[in-house]
Amino acid sequence: MVKVKIISEEANNIQILFTDTDRSLLSGIRRSLMSDTPKMAIDTVRFELGLVEQDGEVWESTGPVPDETIAQRLAMVPIVTRHDDFYFQSECPSCKDLVDDQRGCPQCSVIYACKAFGTEEGKMITAGDMKPMGDDSLSIIEEFKGIPLTKLFKGQMVEFFATAIMGRGRQHAKWSPVCGVAFASRKIGVINNKTKAKMLWDLDLSITSKDFKDGKLEDYEKVSQLERELNHVGEGTEEMKDFKNAITIEEVPGEFILSFETDGSMSPKVAFTMATKELAGRFDLISKDMSEAL
């Protein structure tokens, strides 16, 4: 049975160790993370056009950046994704029986409103100027409020309503919650010749003989560091002939490390859980179809 262990986890980054498995499973999870994990993203934007009079001044809904460019930037702004609170529009109890143009309710969409004015010296309009209509907990994440949308000067304004819905990365990149998804065989360092290995220790680098236990180095981060430091005694160096394979990096059969980063719309653990759930659902469907066929 496959065993899974989280090696490290930060706000948006994670490394996961898989044991007793093969590359096909990791490849499936990788694809599911990028293409199948449900995510909220802005799908449509309605810009309000015209003139507005305020405090004796006349403002026009115009600016240096075309509306299409602003819409594209909005699509890539990370939106808080709560899988338990929202449905896909095609599965929403209130909207699934409606035509696409009529779908959209608090159960399957979030509307963000923005109305901002320029200044004499120029004002940068950012994602933080968007406010959710209804639940304030769906506000743009603090970390991403500074994402620039456009810059307005005196007499210029922008007003729009942006609607976020649930989607998947296979439909559009804006619905893919992860990046840098990669996996590799887990590696360990092995001392084959203690006497010649001393050549590396004498260089006074970060990895020492004390890091090895019973002649093996298994700590993932330290193995990565050792791999880099072996370049000091590897090909193209004076020490290569004498050092030879005193220390080698070896792959552990059946063990792999998966690493990826999320865009902030959800935690890495949630993204991984949803990806494996989607993948398991597909296998269940395949198994059912096979049973019916046979």
pLDDT tens digit sequence for 248-283: 999 999 999 999 999 999 999 999 999 999 988 877
- Whether 294 is in a domain gets the answer no
- Tell me the three state secondary structure of residue 292: helix
Q: Are 31 and 81 contained in the same domain?
A: no
Q: How far is CA 53 from CA 50, 113, 212, 259, in A?
A: 10, 19, 73, 53
Q: Band the pLDDT of 290: cuts 50, 70, 90.
A: low
- Cβ atoms of 35 and 282 within 8 Å: the answer is no
Is residue 208 included in any domain, yes or no? yes
SS3 231: helix
- Given the structure tokens 């969409």, which residue do they identify? 109
Mean pLDDT score, 63-68: 92
Close Cβ partners of 223 (under 8 Å, ≥ 6 residues apart): 187, 188, 189, 217, 249
My answer on whether 60 and 19 are in the same domain is no
Q: Specify the DSSP element, H or E, that contains 287.
A: helix 268-293
Q: How far is 11 from 112, CA to CA, in rounded Å?
A: 25
**Does the residue 138 lie in any domain?**
yes
Q: Which domain holds residue 97?
A: 40-174
The verdict on 101 and 16 lying in the same domain is no
pLDDT at 291 over 80: no
In the predicted model, is pLDDT for residue 294 greater than 60?
A: no
Would you say residue 3 has pLDDT above 90?
A: yes
| Whether residues 252 and 185 fall in one domain | yes
Between the alpha carbon of residue 202 and those of residues 71, 162, 209, 221, the distances in Å are 58, 61, 10, 21
User: Is 118 in the same domain as 191?
Assistant: no
pLDDT score for 211: 95
If you write DSSP's letter for every residue of 128-180 in order, what string do you get? GG-EESS-GGGSPPGGGTT-EEEEEBTTBEEEEEEEEEEE-TTT-GGG--EEE
- Are the beta carbons of 254 and 232 closer than 8 angstroms? no
Look at residues 229, 86, 105, 96 and name the one whose alpha carbon lies nearest to residue 163.
Answer: 105
Are 119 and 190 in a shared domain? no
Maximum pairwise Cα distance, the chain:
86
* Same domain flag for 205 and 99: no
Confidence class of residue 198 from pLDDT cuts 50, 70 and 90? Answer: very high
pTM: 0.85
Confidence category of residue 286, pLDDT binned at 50, 70, 90: low
The answer to whether the CB of 29 falls within 8 A of the CB of 37 is no
* Tally of structural domains, the chain: 2
On whether residue 198 sits in a domain, the answer given is yes
pLDDT tier, 288 (very low <50, low <70, confident <90, very high otherwise): low
pLDDT of residue 293 exceeding 70:
no
CATH number, domain with residue 189: 3.30.1360.10
Last residue of some domain: 123, 151, 174? 174
Cα gap 86→264, rounded to integer Å: 18
Q: What is the mean pLDDT of residues 69-91?
A: 95
Mean pLDDT (whole number) for 28-53: 94
* Residues 129-150: tens digit of each pLDDT: 999 998 899 999 999 999 999 9
Amino acid at position 204, single letter: D
Going 62 to 65 to 71 to 77, the CA torsion angle's sign is negative
**Quick check: is 119 in a domain?**
yes
10 with 84, same domain: the answer is: no
Neighbours of 10 (CB within 10 A): 10
Confidence of residue 287 (pLDDT cuts 50, 70, 90): low
In-domain check, residue 274? no
pLDDT at 239: 86
> What is the pLDDT confidence band of residue 285, given thresholds at 50, 70 and 90?
low
pLDDT at 289 over 60: no
Indicate left, alpha or beta for 50 from its phi (over 0: left) and psi (-120 to 50: alpha): left
Residue 106 phi/psi, 5-degree rounding, is -60, -15
The CATH number of whichever domain residue 136 belongs to comes to 2.170.120.12
**222 in any annotated domain:** yes
pLDDT at residue 284 above 70?
no
* Mean pLDDT (whole number) for 108-136: 94
- If you ran DSSP here, which 8-state letter would residue 18 be given? E
pLDDT computed for residue 238 by the predictor: 85
Residue 44 shares a structural domain with residue 164? yes
Same-domain status, 235 and 142: no
State the residue for tokens 């200044």: 119
Q: Per-residue pLDDT tens for 214-251? A: 999 999 999 999 999 999 998 888 888 899 899 999 99
Same domain? For 167 and 194 the reply is: no
Q: What is the pLDDT of residue 135?
A: 87
- For residue 272, being part of any structural domain is answered with no
Q: Which string of b and e fits 97-128 if b means at least 16 CB within 10 Å?
A: eeeeeebbeeebbbbbebebbbeeeebebbbb
Residues 185 and 162 occupy one common structural domain:
no
**Mean pLDDT value across residues 12-24:** 95
Mean pLDDT for the chain?
92
